[in-house]
A and B are shown apart, each in its own frame.
Chain A
């Protein structure tokens, strides 16, 4: 159904792009066959390192005419196989398009190329007194990837997710045509929400080659509380109390002691407190330290009423650093603690988080497998990891399938959804199909066909 990449194709691509940016297998790392989770692998037939919208447009037009599949890759930090070239073909790498093009202080926007890394973007705007709130744990991810998965992160409780900070996208369609969806406008009731359709489409509808993002003035103060609890239940049951208590928190993160110990082991650094079985990490920001302190005082009182052991104050750079660096290393820490793992990035209504975490413990006991978790308790998005440890291959496969079935079934019963921020990619398609059903899938397939009539862009993903 697809054509293989021929020597002639490579020759033409080299002529039109640049010979040193069109690479054949053997000339690029096997890492291009996988993303960060690595359970699905397939090598592309050629790697093209594009440096401009025009180059991307040429590749798409050529691939569309010759029925060659194309998969776009950013920093490769995805967790659902979204950037794996399942059908071979061309891998279009955009990390070289990594310029921050403009900070528009009149319109409060920053214009970036897709290969800019999240940490570079936040450092750039913060240095100039602005704030790009989306804050996924993986700071080395590219902004193009963040948009493609609608990444969320820790500040979603107050600020929302990547979708809420995208004003416009320059997109190369699978046919090679270039369009701009959205604009430097605050309001937009002009036709279908095409920009929003692109966000979270995981590189299946078009190639994002430029993005105009919204920024906010940088809050002057940000203070966190690390709140130890005597049990997982006590910690997580405090979350709805904080939500109902009309608290103005930017982040409500949940973590268990075991996960903290894995991060300590992985980083070789101690967390400031790891004695309690479970913790909430709560953050408030603002422009006045006294106001932020007063709000956090109210939050601390609520936590203590709910059984918290104490509330530890994380206020200065040197106090924030060990806490947030450990928080950023949870995934790596758990990964390093086992032989293999797979993850479930489920999202449930916030008032069901406690029930869901409790259920992960039940599933772990029932299947005799370790299932550590952590997550964004304040927005209902949990990261649940099924660890292989010393299970033999056949047993691991059946345990994993059963664990996923149980967890996604329960999430569905709770009116939750399959993915909060990592996406569907290849790995979670089945669970999304079960959740959405045939009618929704038919509409989604129709959208895909409207954008990509020859189904050459990231085939085999989402729908």
Chain B
């Protein structure tokens, strides 16, 4: 199968701080990394590629330094990557991001499956994947935990709906967003890093995309505007467990179980 994985470069720490006065993300001295959710999408893609004798390509949109995120996908096992990088793409919301990714994906056709992470750690919308599928006119499923069957022209997948699991048969080409912890992502390989060549990553600007309509891209093409960014209210839950040892133990077990700690 030909597989495409969309990835994003995000701030390198899981504890991104928002300046409470200006409402701006504190990005100073914060290194960047591959969106952690994308790692599960990549791993599922590599496993599917191995099973079907296929290949994995990757696609990202971002500033020039986002090339590093694509390089990492190559160290993990992708064969080539495309970075959409242009000031005209900047400031994009969900719709404008999906519009740019659609143009990029069309440059990389054909593919049978597109994988995306469930969401990103900075934007957190979980909408770009499904929006991209809509634009490409292909079927999609979000929160995929597992691919259970591969057929010619279709996949059977298990979708995690938090309180239920749903098994779906989905026609290819399709787009799947992958649930967190769906697998244990492989680590980047130093040997692949050393063997990587410059031409494995192509950087495309707006001018390189034949059907690009600038009014649909970047800030111009965004239907939403960010009015304010503020840190979420801190809410530290503290439960005191009392009662008989049996009751307290049952309550503690239920709590740990609920959080999937046991």
Q: Chain B CB within 10 Å — which of A271, A273, A317, A318 has the most?
A: A318
Q: Which of A94-102, A306-314, A392-400 contacts B (4 or more CB under 8 A)?
A: A306-314
Q: A310 with B33: in contact, given A271-B184, A316-B12 (CB under 8 Å)?
A: no
Chain B residues with CB under 8 A of A313:
75, 187-190, 193
Chain A residues with CB under 8 A of B13:
317
Q: A319 with B187: in contact, given A289-B31, A313-B75 (CB under 8 Å)?
A: yes
Minimal Cβ-Cβ distance residue in A for B185: A272
Q: How far is the CA of A272 from the CA of B183 in the complex (A)?
A: 9
Chain A residues with CB under 8 A of B189:
310-313
Is residue A270 contacting chain B, with contact meaning CB distance below 8 A?
yes
Inter-chain residue pair count (beta carbon < 8 A): 51
Is residue A38 contacting chain B, with contact meaning CB distance below 8 A?
no
Q: Does A225 lie within 8 Å of B186, measured CB to CB?
A: no
Is residue B234 contacting chain A, with contact meaning CB distance below 8 A?
no
Chain B residues with CB under 8 A of A273:
186-187
Within 8 Å by CB of B190, from A269, A312, A317, lies A312
Minimal Cβ-Cβ distance residue in B for A303: B190
Within 8 Å by CB of A269, from B31, B184, B185, lies B184
Q: Chain A CB within 10 Å — which of B14, B186, B187 has the most?
A: B187
Q: How far is the CA of A278 from the CA of B115 in the complex (A)?
A: 33
Q: Does A314 lie within 8 Å of B190, measured CB to CB?
A: no
Q: Does B190 lie within 8 Å of A318, measured CB to CB?
A: no
Q: A316 with B36: in contact, given A289-B31, A297-B190, A310-B191 (CB under 8 Å)?
A: yes
Chain B residues with CB under 8 A of A310:
189-191
Within 8 Å by CB of A311, from B36, B183, B191, lies B191
Q: Total interface residues on B, using CB and 8 Å?
A: 19
Q: How far is the CA of A314 from the CA of B186 in the complex (A)?
A: 10
Chain B residues with CB under 8 A of A318:
14, 36, 39, 185
Chain B residues with CB under 8 A of A270:
183-184
Chain A interface, >50% SS class: mixed
Question: Could you mark each residue 1-34 of chain B with 1 if its beta carbon is under 8 Å from any beta carbon of chain A, else 0?
Answer: 0000000000011100000000000000001011
Is residue A234 contacting chain B, with contact meaning CB distance below 8 A?
no
Q: Does B39 lie within 8 Å of A300, measured CB to CB?
A: no
Is residue A322 contacting chain B, with contact meaning CB distance below 8 A?
yes
Is residue A239 contacting chain B, with contact meaning CB distance below 8 A?
no
Q: Which residues of A (248-292) have their CB < 8 Å from a CB of B?
A: 269-273, 289
Q: Does A304 lie within 8 Å of B191, measured CB to CB?
A: yes
Q: How far is the CA of A225 from the CA of B187 in the complex (A)?
A: 10
Question: Could you mark each residue 22-63 of chain B with 1 if its beta carbon is under 8 Å from any beta carbon of chain A, else 0?
Answer: 000000000101101001000000000000000000000000
Is residue A226 contacting chain B, with contact meaning CB distance below 8 A?
yes
Q: A322 with B190: in contact, given A289-B31, A313-B75, A317-B14 (CB under 8 Å)?
A: no
Minimal Cβ-Cβ distance residue in B for A224: B187
Chain A residues with CB under 8 A of B191:
304, 310-311
Q: How far is the CA of A314 from the CA of B191 in the complex (A)?
A: 14
Chain A residues with CB under 8 A of B31:
289
Chain A residues with CB under 8 A of B188:
312-313, 315
Rounded to whole Å, the gap between the CB of A283 and the closest CB of chain B is: 14
Chain B residues with CB under 8 A of A304:
190-191
- Residues of B whose CB lies within 8 Å of any CB of A are 12-14, 31, 33-34, 36, 39, 75, 183-191, 193
A271-B184, A273-B187, A315-B188 given. 11 additional CB < 8 A pairs? Answer: A225-B190, A270-B184, A272-B187, A273-B186, A289-B31, A310-B191, A311-B189, A311-B191, A312-B186, A312-B187, A317-B13
Q: List 18 A-B contacts (CB under 8 A).
A: A271-B184, A272-B186, A273-B187, A297-B190, A300-B190, A304-B191, A310-B190, A311-B190, A313-B187, A313-B190, A315-B33, A315-B188, A316-B36, A318-B14, A318-B36, A318-B185, A319-B187, A322-B184
- Residues of A whose CB lies within 8 Å of any CB of B are 225-226, 269-273, 289, 297, 300, 304, 310-319, 322
The 3 nearest A-B residue pairs measured at CB:
A312-B187, A311-B190, A270-B184
